[in-house]
Amino acid sequence: MAAPQDVHVRICNQEIVKFDLEVKALIQDIRDCSGPLSTLTELNTKVKEKFQQLRHRIQDLEQSAKEQDKESEKQLLLQEVENHKKQLLSNQTSWRKANLTCKIAIDNLEKAELLQGGDLLRQRKTTKESLAQTSSAITESLMGISRMMAQQVQQSEEAMQSLVTSSRTILDANEEFKSMSGTIQLGRKLITKYNRRELTDKLLIFLALALFLATVLYIVKKRLFPFL
């Protein structure tokens, strides 16, 4: 298992490398910065903070080197500390050069803006007019879309109302159909009952007629053939 002192040394080296890379990235941002001065000031503030963190970590590593028991490990760590200090000085030099480059670029840009002030004002005016026209066109387009959406909503409401009316009509027709179906069923039953009664009446008439004929024949027989 690694000793706590070795772990501390390893963490110091890792953070020194991290802060060094962050400082280099910020210095490159300063080189690429073309203004305004507020942006440059903000970048310089961040660089100062990173330099402070980097110095503290180098000091921690140096203290850890002095606390090493073995002379060989002590000298090795002190050499690393020296290398980190040299890299720190190199970063500071690059930082000053980057600031100088950025300030020159900002000065040149300000001079160019002063020389072309009239053109810039005209361009800004044209740009404002163009933006106003574009804004007006966008507003008109949005209003058109709003009107179209309102029409679509109204059409949807009308279609929904039509569907509701159609649904009610279908329901009414269904109720009428049910009522007619009941009437038809009742009529069918009455017709069936009537047919049965008609058959019964025919049978009774037939029997009555048969009885009548039998009676007539009996009377005729008695009068014509009394001896039979």
Going from N- to C-terminal start, the domains of the chain cover 4-115+154-184
Q: What band does 111 get if pLDDT is binned at 50, 70 and 90?
A: confident
Q: What percentage of the chain carries pLDDT values higher than 90?
A: 36
Question: Which of 42-46, 127-131, 188-192 ranks highest by mean pLDDT?
Answer: 42-46
The two structure tokens encoding residue 227: 């001896």
How far, in Å, CA of 67 to CA of 62, rounded?
9
Report pTM.
0.49
Q: What band does 121 get if pLDDT is binned at 50, 70 and 90?
A: low
How far, in Å, CA of 183 to CA of 181, rounded?
5
pLDDT at 133: 81
Span 175-189, average pLDDT = 75
How far, in Å, CA of 113 to CA of 36, rounded?
13
Q: What band does 1 get if pLDDT is binned at 50, 70 and 90?
A: very low
Which of 100, 106, 94, 101 minimizes the C-alpha distance to 51? 94
Residue whose structure tokens are 């970590």: 57
Q: What percentage of the chain carries pLDDT values higher than 70?
A: 83
> Which contiguous run of DSSP H or E holds residue 128?
helix 117-224
**pLDDT at position 216 over 70:** yes
